[in-house]
Structure 1
Amino acid sequence: MSLRPGPRNSITDIDGLLVGHATDERIGSGVTVIRCAGQWVAAVDIRGGGPGVRETETLSPENIVGGIHAIALSGGSVFGLAAADGVMGYLSERQVGMRLRPGGRAIPIVPGAVLHDLNNQGDKDWGELSPYRDLGARAVAAAGTDFALGSVGAGRGAMAGYVKGGIGTASLDLGDGLVVAALVAVNPVGSVYMPDGRTFWAWPYEIDGEFGGHRPAPHTPPVSDPTPDHTRLRDLGRLQPGANTTLAVVATNAAIDKLEAKRIAIMAQDGLARAIRPVHTPFDGDLVFAIGSGAVALGDERTRQWQTARIGAAAADVLARAIARGVYHASGNDGVAASNCAV
């Protein structure tokens, strides 16, 4: 029996996850927030050469903090790291977070990561205070089970090579109550398309034509040079360290620990390699967060290892699909801009 997506084909097929966007058309940028119901186990794996991050070291398995309450993905390069401040303030005021003493202030743990979209046509003359803190608060306030894909939130100013990037999501039901899903903001220097310009590298993983159903022509020759035209990308200002990034979150409802979350994040990086060529370049800040709700037990140690490998393998496939969906639904590409995330 072939595996199927969840009912929404979305990261919100994981019970307890909500997603919200805030988009500022004037600056041509935005924020996307993934909110957890409670404190969820999390880890991160960073492969790109120019990451922009916040609170990622907190997730290291040797550190004491047990989990997170939300993740803030943002445009705006380093200025976008302020989005997590808005998320943190919003959650703390609503009594969401850790407490170090009874009656103490709620302390939300909100890792963040940013992509570079400062070279697009939006107005970046925002003065001493950037708009991203406010956008972060607005995004978490808007979080729900249904959300738009494409050129919205953190994907508003994203590019994928020469075409528009954006927000994508996908899910997979593994049976026995176990679900794996992904959300991604796609902004790589590499291409998501094969040389024909219409078939996604991720086409072998597509389910039900979720990103157009294009297939390579019969007898398509092997690809000898998948690297984009460096001259054009340099002219666009994209061949700079940290100027391009794919930000991903993979999620499961399994009861994983921090070490298992780290292994799943590592395995999920293969999804970027399946969907983007080249990837993890010096110019990208690619990273994958992995989070788990703890709802589905994984059994004894031997079973846990097997299930962790199974979840990680599925996460890579789901992430490849989410990347293609993000570009497919972006403004000016084959899909409809900011379309609903249902298949």
Structure 2
Amino acid sequence: MQSQKNRSNGHRFSLLASVAAMTFTLSVSGATSASSEQDMLKPLLNAASESTLTYDWPILKVGTGTYEEGPTGVTVFHFDKKVFVAADVRGGGPGTVNASYMDLGYNYAELDTVVFSGGSWYGLEAVTAVASALKDDGIRDGDAFSLEPNMAMSVGSIIFDFGSRRLNEIYPDKRLAQAAFRAAKTGTFPRGAYGAGRFAKSGAFFGCNAFSGQGGAFKQVGDLKIAAFVIANPYGVITKRDGTVAACYEGASWPGGKIRTSDLMQGFPESRESGGKNADIPVSSKNTTVSLIVTNQKLDPAELKRLATQVHTSMGRGIQPFMTQYDGDVLYAVSTAELDEPAFMPPDLGVIASEVMWDALLSAVPEQPVAATPDPDLSYNMEQLATFTGNYTFSPMVSLEISARDGALYAQASGKRKVYGIGHQEPVALSPVAETEFMLPGRYPLTFKFKKDGQLVLNPGHWQQVSQDKTP
């Protein structure tokens, strides 16, 4: 009996071991697959922009990196010497590194870098990766007990750029962050949809769903220098100084022309109107505006903290509503302490810095894509349409079935998620634009471009999404 029991236990143990081994193998295989997808991505560093800020401040270097396959990215601010930092955290969903430590208000310079990243929580890897690069490159070491501590200190925050806005889950990783850090240079900063702002959006609160990005501005008054940088990804609308909305895809019943933010706010909730055939695109309610204000005027910890609070509060003029439950808004204030004698009293400095930050915010808004114009004279036979049909996969969760009937092309979501408002229940008809190009009428531009290599490109251009695979 004992021998039979042992054999039974041995068989059970062997079976469990086999299952465990199989599970481990599958887990490793899955992890390797996910890792390989990220490892195959090539960083694009310091991309040329249609709008570039130039500034004269050698201590401040900036590097930007993107994975265009996302697209998503990271922006790294590197100071050539240790500087002072304070933070003001206001949003309802912030994602930060070292925020609690900054609030302790120690009166000595410790900061090396500020890192902003896309990728939501996964993007926080970028912040610590830059600290590791400072050590690996011999710029900092592990000595925390010398008279002048030489430990690398990197702080930073993330924005949410997943969800309905792009059809994959590529994120800024350690490799991209360290490449951007090592490519950092002084004097220039690309504005618009670059770096951490590569797939930022604004105005989801009112259904605007406008493209956004990163902005920067610089001002010098005598010996005083102020630079402001922002990754604008707010739930609210970005507002110009004349009170009009900087960018918005309007609702069908809106009057058209220049939209005043005050009208949207006072007309709420009626102003949150959708309308349009593809207006059920689920605009993201996960947003964040992260910003950095830098001055060369020496400030003590309390003054630097107050500067952060004053400038951050002032941003409520340029973003409305601001600092909601669905925003992770954080502002970092840095003093390089190069100017020993105060050029301005702290409240006056805050006013100047607030205006520079508003300039930065407005410069973040890129030119908005416009909807393609259908060509009513285009017609296709079924043989021609058959070259476009098939199931196009964009990621493990997102795929799109293209079908044809009665001389027209149709699209229907076939994966777990909708595709830019295209659902699973019923195919939607596409309107022809050019020989291999179609569009879906509605509030938000949605263009389909079929390539000869079998790829489908949605919204070709700066924010395009490219299919990975096609099956019949």
Query: Is this a same-fold pair by TM over 0.5?
Result: yes
Q: Partner residue of 1:326?
A: 364
CA contact (8 A) 1:32 1:73 kept: yes
**2:96 corresponding residue in structure 1:** 53
- For the residue of structure 2 that corresponds to 1:189, the secondary structure is coil
Q: Deviations over 1:224-266 (max 9, x none)?
A: 2377727699952422xxx100000000011112221111100
Please say if 1:121 is aligned against 2:166. yes
Distance verdict in 2 for CA 1:309–1:13, change over 3 Å: farther
Judge conservation of contact 1:69–1:97 (CA < 8 Å) in 2.
no
Are residues 1:111 and 2:111 paired? no
CA distance in 2, matches of 1:221, 1:158: 24
Q: Which runs of 5 or more structure 1 residues have no equivalent in the other structure?
A: 1-7, 202-214, 339-343
Question: How is 1:35-46 mapped onto 2 (pairs within 5 angstroms)?
Answer: 35-46=78-89
Answer whether contact 2:234 2:327 (CA < 8 A) is retained. Answer: yes
1:1-343 alignment, distance < 5 Å: 10=53, 12-63=55-106, 66-97=109-140, 99-101=143-145, 107-119=151-163, 120-124=165-169, 131-144=172-185, 145-161=187-203, 162-175=209-222, 177-193=223-239, 199-200=245-246, 224-225=266-267, 229=272, 235-239=281-285, 243-299=286-342, 307-327=345-365, 329=366, 332=369
SS in 2 for 1:154: helix
The SS at the match of 2:302 is helix
Tell me how far 1:332 sits from its aligned partner.
3.3
SS of the counterpart of 1:322? helix
Give the deviation of 1:67 after TM superposition: 2.5
Aligned length: 299
**SS, match of residue 315 in structure 1:** helix
The whole-number CA distance in structure 2 between the counterparts of 1:200 and 1:331 is 10
SS in structure 1 at match of 2:191: coil
Distance 1:266 1:11 in 2: 26
Larger radius of gyration: 2
Structure 2: distance between partners of 1:59 and 1:135: 26
Aligned-partner Cα distance in 2 for 1:234–1:285: 25
| Root-mean-square deviation over aligned CA pairs | 3.5
Q: Greater relative contact order (Cα 8 A, min sep 6): structure 1 or 2?
A: 1
Question: Aligned partner of 1:181: which letter?
Answer: A
- Structure richer in strand, relative to its length: 2
The 1-side partners of 2:352 and 2:127 are apart by 29
Deviation at 1:142, TM superposition (A): 1.5
Give the Cα separation in 2 of the matches to 1:167 and 1:132.
19
Structure 1 residues 247 and 221: CA distance shift in structure 2, 3 A: closer
Q: Secondary structure at the match of 2:332?
A: strand
Does the residue aligned with 1:148 lie in a helix, a strand or coil? strand
